[in-house]
Amino acid sequence: MVAPKCHGDPVMRARGWSVVEYCKLGRTGLDVSVLMLGAWSYGRAAWEGERPIEDEESIRTIQAALDAGINWIDTAAGYGDGHSERVVGEAVKGRRDEVLLASKAMGTPEVIHQTIDKCLKNMGIDCVDLYQLHYPARGVPVADQVGAMVELQEAGKIRFIGVSNFSLEEHQEAVETARVETSQPPFNVFWRQYENDVLPLCIEHDISVIPYSPLAQGLLAGRFRKVEDVPEDIRARNKLMAPGILEDCVAVVARLEEIAQAHGRTVAQAAIAWTLQTPGITAPIIGCRRPEQLADNLGGVGWRLGDAEYREIAEAGEVISAKLDLSDNMWGWRPI
């Protein structure tokens, strides 16, 4: 049986110059676009290698996403120590009713309580729609971390709870403590860590899966063909861009590009379509620095790779994923 890719039948709606698909957010009954905008780079720290990030350009990109019908945005306290939250808050001023705002915290219950207060201040809002545990904090029971999120919900500071970078066991503990609406794992053609355990659990519990780095930070958009192309920013630490792995990834990207061209699409669009076709995936979080990247990535929605094409790329990506050290995150560290 093919699992539903999102919970409820997706519907297409024309919006301005684009057409975006929508589906249900967990069990909330709310409609969310099947693409979420990622705001990590707008925090500037970690992404300044190639050229500086301009807040004005970040704001234009966020507003273009809203114009195109994307109706949720993912940020975090840790993205530039609140800078990304401030930029997102600024960009959605006057349009708050058009968008669900998601942010993240991590740590002990005390730290989580402090972090939400800063988040609300940074974004200039009274309540954040989706608050996520960014990483499970080592040495703190999952029930205590999720319990702190429930307290924030009861205090009216957040609407819904999400988790990120949680293992199967951590998900199991989380769902015993509270209703969890979203899970945010790393996931793309090459990084398949949670495909066979977390994704089925999310399907079972109607948890929307919003995978991060669907374009492998630009690699699946065809940006990097050799190690020297990788910018001296966060990407320089990405395990997929290490010598010996990057070359294998580039060969798969070249094949994906051929498939994309046969459909009249770009390789970034094919990578997004592939992600959306994976059972259990609700909405990839796309990191767009500029409106032009956003315009390209919107074309990842509303079409499908053929089943054989999907499987060919899935199998080629799995071979690479099996070679990776998955013990820490994509960049080789555990932030907490």
Ligand X SMILES: NC(=O)c1ccc[n+]([C@@H]2O[C@H](COP(=O)([O-])OP(=O)(O)OC[C@H]3O[C@@H](n4cnc5c(N)ncnc54)[C@H](OP(=O)(O)O)[C@@H]3O)[C@@H](O)[C@H]2O)c1
Q: What residues are labeled active site?
A: 79
Q: Quick check: 133 binds ligand X (CB under 6 A)?
A: no
Other Cβ atoms closer than 10 A to 38 = 24
Report the residue number, 148 or 286, with the smaller CB distance to ligand X. Answer: 286
Q: Are 188 and 217 in contact (CB under 8 A)?
A: no
Residues 272-311 within binding reach of ligand X (CB under 6 A): 285-289, 293, 296-297
Q: How far is the CB of 1 from ligand X (least distance, A)?
A: 30
Q: How far is the CB of 290 from ligand X (least distance, A)?
A: 7
Q: Quick check: 40 binds ligand X (CB under 6 A)?
A: yes
Residues 173-192 within binding reach of ligand X (CB under 6 A): 184
Report the residue number, 15 or 223, with the smaller CB distance to ligand X. Answer: 223
Q: Are 247 and 253 in contact (CB under 8 A)?
A: no
**DSSP assignment of 91-158:** HTTT-GGG-EEEEEE-SSHHHHHHHHHHHHHHHT-S-EEEEEESSPPTTS-HHHHHHHHHHHHHTTSE
Joined tokens for residue 303: 């079409």
Report the residue number, 134 or 205, with the smaller CB distance to ligand X. Answer: 134
- Separation of alpha carbons 84 and 77, rounded Å: 8
Return the closest-CA partner of residue 265 out of 303, 291, 294: 303
- Separation of alpha carbons 306 and 119, rounded Å: 42
Q: Quick check: 193 binds ligand X (CB under 6 A)?
A: no
Residues 230-269 within binding reach of ligand X (CB under 6 A): 268
Q: Quick check: 41 binds ligand X (CB under 6 A)?
A: yes
- The one segment of 16-24, 142-150, 210-218, 255-263 that binds ligand X by CB under 6 A: 210-218
Chain contacts with ligand X (rule: CB under 6 A): 38-41, 50, 74, 134, 164-165, 184, 212-218, 221, 223, 268, 285-289, 293, 296-297
